[in-house]
Every structure is written in structure tokens, then in C-alpha cells.
Amino acid sequence: MASYAKFARFYDAINGEPEERILQILTYIEMYRPQTESILELGCGTGAILAGLGSGFSLTGIDLSPEMLEYAKRRCPSARFIQGDITSFSSSEMFDVVICVFDTLNHVTTFEGWLSVFQLVREHLAVGGLFIFDVNTLGRLRELGEVAPWVHSFEENTLIMDVEFDDEPMAIWDIRIFEHRGQHEYVLHHERILELGVALDRIRDALSPNFNLLEETDTYGCAPTDESARALFVYQLTTE
């Protein structure tokens, strides 16, 4: 999985505040697990989601990147953070809700790794608990691989992001940030981040033995397909 070593300090400035996704998560918790006390986020990044969930929960975040976790600790000092791989973590605690958003799962570059994540979620989730996650779809990655690079200016810096999807189902996100240091001086920060595309039915089949599907939606509130931009799922653990 990518370390985001160079991208970490620019991440929030580029992506902004995830207010819509936070509201969505809180809505699902209120609908399906209103007694929730503890939440675990897999791939918590800079802690923006955890910070937005409020102080009414016991919050834990796991991320592989020490650079991202440094920002997370400052953004959400009340949470507990663990540096680790979401395909192999271990905790003595059980959680009411596990979340994994902003295509974190796609960063696991083998489907065997996805299955490991699903198994660990099962082991760390209370019966009746929720597993809320989203993915970039195969169709979305194909689309991104066909369009011109995205150019975005922020805080006098420039981001150029290009997605290569020639070796389907593996996408390569080529990220270049030109940091403005002076009138005519820029410093280049360059990372290449891998994402795996997985058919949605394959995800559903992997989770169906132990989880009940409560909600699935694309970005427009419709049933997601492999051609949707993104798919969000809410599952409930039904077996120990």
C-alpha cells in the first residue's frame, strides 16, 4: 500500500473537508446502529473523517503512513491511532462500526488482501455492527485512464494527477505536486500510487456469508454498478 509520504501535508488542502461523507456515515449509524459507542476507521489518513464524527464516540484509526498519522493526531487528539496495515492489523477491542472510505480498499492491490480486510472486520466487529465502505469502480478507473491529466491549483501550488489504467484491473495514480517556494522557485513532489479495481458482484459475494447488505448507493443515490463513479456499501455483521 502507498505510504503517502510526500502527499500527506498537501492532502487536506487538495481534498477539502469531507462534510458530505461524514453526514452520510452519521446518518447510517443513526438509522442502523444508534447505540454505537466505538468506531474504527481503516485507512484513516489525516483524520478528517474521525475529527468530523464528533466527541460522542470512542474513535480509533489505523493507517500505514506515519506522515498521515502525524496530521491525524493533531486533527483528532481524542482518538487512538495505530500505525499498521489494514490487511493484517490486530486489536483486543471490538467495535460497533468499522468504516473504510475514500477508496482506501482500492489501495489494497490483491483481492486476497481485500478478503483479509473483510475477515479482520468480521473479527473486530460486534454482532449487529456496521461495516461502511466505498470503492472506486472498474468503470471509474477506466474513465480516469482515458481522460487528460487533472490540473488543480491550490495555495500557490499546482497538482497534476494522471491515472494510467493500461494494465487492468490495476490503476496507477501518478501524482505530481509543484510546491511554490518563491517567486520563480517550485519544488516537485512525485508519488505513484496503485489502486485495484474489483467488480462489485465479487465484493458482494465475498461478504454475503457473514454480512447482511443494508444499503448500497452510487454518488447520485442510485443502485451502484461497475460503471458508477463510486460505490458505497453499508453491511451489518450477522454471524460471530
| Per-residue pLDDT, 3 | 65
Residues 128 and 109: beta-carbon distance below 8 Å: no
Band of pLDDT at residue 4, cut at 50, 70 and 90: confident
Give me the residue spans of the domains in the chain: 8-136+198-237, 139-196
At residue 1, the pLDDT reads 44
pTM: 0.96
Q: For the segment 10-35, what is each residue's pLDDT rounded down to a tens digit?
A: 999 999 999 999 999 999 999 999 99
Who has greater pLDDT, 3 or 227? Answer: 227
Mean pLDDT over the full length of the chain: 95
pLDDT at position 54 is 87
For residues 20 and 40, the answer to whether their CB atoms sit within 8 Å is: no
- Taking only the tens place, the pLDDT of each residue in 183-220 is 889 999 999 999 999 999 999 999 999 999 999 999 99
pLDDT at 240: 62
Using CB atoms within 10 Å of the CB of residue 233, give its burial: 0 to 12 exposed, 13 to 18 middle, 19+ buried. buried
| HSE toward the beta carbon, residue 83, CA cutoff 13 A | 9
Q: For 8-136+198-237, which CATH class?
A: alpha beta
User: Is it the case that residue 175 has pLDDT exceeding 80?
Assistant: yes
Alpha-carbon torsion, ordered 203, 206, 208, 214, to 10 deg: -30
Please report the DSSP string for 107-138 in residue order.
GS-SHHHHHHHHHHHHHHEEEEEEEEEEEE-H
> Which CATH superfamily hosts domain 139-196?
S-adenosyl-L-methionine-dependent methyltransferases (2.20.25.110)
**Rounded percentage of the chain residues whose pLDDT exceeds 70:** 98
